[in-house]
């Protein structure tokens, strides 16, 4: 049985001071919690969050990284910098990076490689737009994204990898996928992982669902056989709400 992972993507929200206020409220609520919890604050909050989380059961992650280890890339942040702030996880290929910042599958692939070789656990986000779902293209979109993003990834990377199914039409819209849609997509991804990366990768790689997860729909999503956790955006900004979601998860 794969342990659940509950990840909170804060996007461009919360200053370092607000991060501290959040943690003062959140940490006592989850100090006994056993599922894996990851918070993904914005870059400026990482260092302070890393100091506050280092002796807790809550892990730290970043929302993005640059594929190169160093150099003339103004505004960018490397895997080594994230590790030094205390990060263990990093989002790669979030739909806002793909659609707002125009990241291609080729770039996502390079970032994934940089994350793994830098010692981070990538949370690879994949998912279709509403137009693609309506056109019956969900599986072909997932196939293209997974095939390109994970092409030739070495087997030693598999234990570190997490895949998040995030239908673009459900992110920040208040519209959640039905349990049937979430389970069908997660099962399809697991079958793809089994077929392309091997049986063991298919069994062990965790698949999250993301898209308007809230305290009142988390339990039914977390009960799905192929959903091993949730990636929570807006609802993760509230410490009490996020703790309620954590309480629905299994260790």
- 180 CB-side CA count, 13 A: 0
Least distance (Å) between residue 166 CB and ligand PEP? 5
Q: For the chain, first and last CA: distance in Å?
A: 9
Using DSSP bridges, classify how beta strands 5-9 and 36-40 pair: parallel, antiparallel or unpaired. parallel
166 is catalytic: yes
Instruction: Print the binding letters for residues 160-179 with ligand PEP: x by CB under 6 A, - otherwise.
Output: ------x----xx-------
Nearer to ligand PEP, 202 or 211 (CB): 211
Interface with ligand PEP in residues 183-242 (CB under 6 A): 210-213, 231-235
Least distance (Å) between residue 198 CB and ligand PEP? 28
Q: Which of 9, 19, 45, 138 binds ligand PEP (CB under 6 A)?
A: 9
Least distance (Å) between residue 215 CB and ligand PEP? 12
Phi-psi group of 235: left, alpha or beta (phi > 0 → left; psi -120 to 50 → alpha; rest → beta): alpha
66 is catalytic: no
CA distance 144 to 178: 23
Nearer to ligand PEP, 179 or 194 (CB): 179
List 103, 128, 132, 166, catalytic entry: 166
Contacts of 215 (CB under 8 A, 6+ apart): 235, 241, 244, 245, 248
List 94, 121, 132, 248, catalytic entry: 94
Nearer to ligand PEP, 115 or 232 (CB): 232
Least distance (Å) between residue 96 CB and ligand PEP? 7
Q: State both tokens at 218.
A: 């988390």
Please tell me what DSSP assigns to residue 32: T
- 221 CB-side CA count, 13 A: 31
Which residues are catalytic, by number? 94, 166
Give contact residues for ligand PEP (rule: CB under 6 A).
9, 11, 166, 171-172, 210-213, 231-235
């Amino acid at each position: 049985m794969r342990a659940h992972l509950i990840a909170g993507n804060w996007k461009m929200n919360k200053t370092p001071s607000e991060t501290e206020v959040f943690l003062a409220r959140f940490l006592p609520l989850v100090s006994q919690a056993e599922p894996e919890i990851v918070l993904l604050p914005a870059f400026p909050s990482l260092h302070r969050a890393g100091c506050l989380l280092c002796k807790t059961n809550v892990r730290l992650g970043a929302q993005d990284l640059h594929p190169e280890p160093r150099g003339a890339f103004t505004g960018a942040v490397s895997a080594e910098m994230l590790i030094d702030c205390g990060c263990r996880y990093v989002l790669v290929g979030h739909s806002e990076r793909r659609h707002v910042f125009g990241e291609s599958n080729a770039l996502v692939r390079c970032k994934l490689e940089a994350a793994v070789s830098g010692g981070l656990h990538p949370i690879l986000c994949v998912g279709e737009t509403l137009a693609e779902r309506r056109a019956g293209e969900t599986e072909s979109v997932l196939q293209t994204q997974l095939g390109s993003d994970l092409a030739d990834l070495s087997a030693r990377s598999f234990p570190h990898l997490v895949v998040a199914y995030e239908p673009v039409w459900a992110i920040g819209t208040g519209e959640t996928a039905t349990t049937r849609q979430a389970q069908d997509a997660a099962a399809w991804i697991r079958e793809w992982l089994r077929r392309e990366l091997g049986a063991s990768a298919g069994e062990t790689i965790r698949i999250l669902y993301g898209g308007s997860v809230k305290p009142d729909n988390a339990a039914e999503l977390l009960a799905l056989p192929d959903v091993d956790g949730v990636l929570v955006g807006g609802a993760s900004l509230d410490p009490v709400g996020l703790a309620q979601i954590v309480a629905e998860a299994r260790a």
